[in-house]
Amino acid sequence: NCGFGLIASTKGQDSHELLKTAIQSLTCMTHRGGIAADGKTGDGCGLLLAKPDSFFRYEAERLFGATLPSVYAVGMIFLSQNPKLAQEARDLIEQQLVAEGLHTIGWREVPVDSNVCGPLALESMPKIEQIFVGGVDIEGKEMDRRLYFARRHVEKGMMHDPDFYIVSLQTEVIGYKGLIMPEDLPNFYLDLQSNRMTTSICVFHQRFSTNTLPRWRLAQPFRYMAHNGEINTISGNINWSVARAPLFASDFLPGLENITPIVDTRGSDSACMDNMLELLLNGGMDMFRALRMMVPPAWQNVEHLDADLRAFYEYNSMHMEPWD
């Protein structure tokens, strides 16, 4: 099955060496992923890294002559190769950002070398761009919530375009992924070769596609996590997410009913799980509770379990069934 890992600086120090080590580690897991008959198209691999601030500030100054604010976001966007559909997506993204009190600083075409792609990957390869987003007097978590709403509205408005996909659109992370082999990732995404591309934490994933066919959008990591799939309860999880939609409420997410359904069923089981996790986190739930509510251990028959922890699992089991 899939392979994934995490490398982080315990001191929170950014470095290009950490990124290079993550890519090397990903390459060592090539055997954990699938590969097409053309010998070059992988089932998907990628990186989710803490936003390389110095790199993006340099690019914003170089491309737009802009000094980025203290809080900003960079989104990684897969667009259609059809110019009309691509422009429709750009326009809708900018409109929804304005609706959320945000603004577009500029668009950047991500430099790639498609020569490293296999024939099958090239057939479905999207146009890859980044959008730089700013706001006025907005702190990071609030901006992420506004970006979440904007993204969901855009996704609903672009359902007719199968190539459109927002890889990441957050203030703290950026994703680089695709249907390429791990060893080719830094040769495809030329950004990853830059010494300015520094980070303090990087999640990496090599996919072995099982119950869904390989697609650029289904490569991992997703926006919040990397996961090896094989979620046996996925049909029930999706159905319950739809049934419970009217009950979801948070002071942090007013108007939540306007962006349902929460789970995009065009995704893999892991992608659906990521959809639910991001809802819980943007709604104000802390990471530990969200993950332990979605993926609890088999606590019922553990004899020596702290009473408070048992009560925690029992309470949360009343609100959501395990994604198991």
In tens, the pLDDT along 128-166 reads 999 999 998 899 999 999 999 999 999 999 999 999 999
Quote helix, strand, coil % in the chain, to nearest 5: 40, 20, 40
Residues 6+ apart with CB under 8 A from 217: 78, 165, 167, 267
The mean of the pLDDT values for the chain is 94
Q: What is the DSSP string of 260-314?
A: --SS-TTS-HHHHHHHHHHHHHHTT--HHHHHHHHS----TT-SS--HHHHHHHH
Place 31 in a pLDDT band, splitting at 50, 70 and 90: confident
Q: Rounded to an integer, what distance in angstroms lies between the CA atom of residue 235 and that of residue 97?
A: 33
| DSSP-based three-state secondary structure for 98 | helix
Q: Rounded to an integer, what distance in angstroms lies between the CA atom of residue 63 and that of residue 55?
A: 12
Residue 33 has pLDDT above 90, yes or no: no
- Give the model confidence (pLDDT) of 184-239 as tens digits: 999 999 999 999 999 999 999 998 877 778 899 999 999 999 988 778 899 999 99
Does 2 participate in catalysis according to the annotation? Answer: yes
Tokens of 314: 């029992």
- Give the model confidence (pLDDT) of 100-119 as tens digits: 999 999 999 999 999 999 99
* Average pLDDT, integer, range 80-101: 98
User: What is the pLDDT at residue 3?
Assistant: 86
Please provide the size of the chain in residues: 324
pTM: 0.94
Tokens of 155: 């996704």
- Give the model confidence (pLDDT) of 179-196 as tens digits: 999 999 999 999 999 999
Q: Domain map of the chain by residue range?
A: 3-230, 231-324
Min mean pLDDT across 114-123, 173-182, 203-212, 245-254 is at 203-212
Q: Rounded to an integer, what distance in angstroms lies between the CA atom of residue 9 and that of residue 101?
A: 34
What's the half-sphere exposure (Cβ side, CA atoms, 13 Å) at 82?
9
User: What is the pLDDT at residue 196?
Assistant: 97
Block residue for tokens 């976001």: 73
| Residue pair 132/105 in contact by the 8 Å Cβ criterion | yes
* Average pLDDT, integer, range 237-251: 92
For residue 272, which of 298, 315, 242, 249 has the smallest C-alpha distance? 242
Q: Which residue of the set 2, 45, 202, 272 is catalytic?
A: 2
* Average pLDDT, integer, range 74-82: 99
| Domain 3-230 -> CATH class | alpha beta
Q: Rounded to an integer, what distance in angstroms lies between the CA atom of residue 138 and that of residue 69?
A: 10
User: What is the pLDDT at residue 214?
Assistant: 87
Residues 6+ apart with CB under 8 A from 307: none
